[in-house]
Amino acid sequence: MDDMNLREIPFEKETIFDGRILRVEKWQVTCPNGQSAPREIVVHKGAAAVVPVYEDGTTLLVRQHRVSVDRVTLEIPAGKLDSWGEDPYDCAVRELEEETGLRAESFTLLTSVLTTPGFCTEKIAIYLAQGLTQGETHPDEDEFLGLVRMPLDEAIDLVMRGEIRDGKTICGLLMAKEVIARQKEQA
């Protein structure tokens, strides 16, 4: 079956909830067989995340409590886009500095992840930041963070042991390791 024969076409959208971070909509779609079906969609502005990697091969991760899962997580620095249409690169630069105090000479786009495409429009652009210099952190008023610096390989080990469970962090760390390995091969 080709892709066009799989496509669902929305024909009606109703806002159920409109919040500060996201909007929930009920969509009616026409399925490939011509039947209509309801879909509940979380509409999200998107986000950006950064894997900062120092010259010595270490990375800097953020520890914070995530109330939705009631656990302290270890994640790459990240944040939501401030507005519809904001360039994810600008968000990545801002979030890296706010959360870690770091500035980077170079940012390499690793990927843009669809976090939960079954019901959410959120996309997270994930960058590798290199050529790091330290400045002051300035997290948001309601943001309480701890910073953990460790070898990138150790962070990958935490992923492989299931101790890091955040999707963007898993993807970012694994991709950063591969990109850095390729950079070394080309040098």
Alpha-carbon torsion (105, 57, 94, 113), positive or negative: positive
| Tokens found for residue 112 | 């843009």
Query: Hunting for tokens 């010595």 — which residue is that?
Result: 56
Query: Hunting for tokens 């950079």 — which residue is that?
Result: 183
SS3 at position 58: strand
Closest to 100 measured CA to CA, from 83, 76, 130, 126: 76
The single residue of 55, 105, 136, 141 carrying the catalytic annotation is 141
User: Which burial class, exposed, middle or buried, applies to 22 when counting CB atoms under 10 A from its CB (0-12, 13-18, 19+)?
Assistant: middle
* Spatial distance between the Cα atoms of 74 and 31, rounded to a whole number of angstroms: 40
Whether 141 is a known active-site residue: answer yes
E strand map for the chain: 9-18, 22-30, 36-44, 47-52, 58-66, 71-75, 78-80, 102-114, 123-134, 146-151
Active site residues: 141
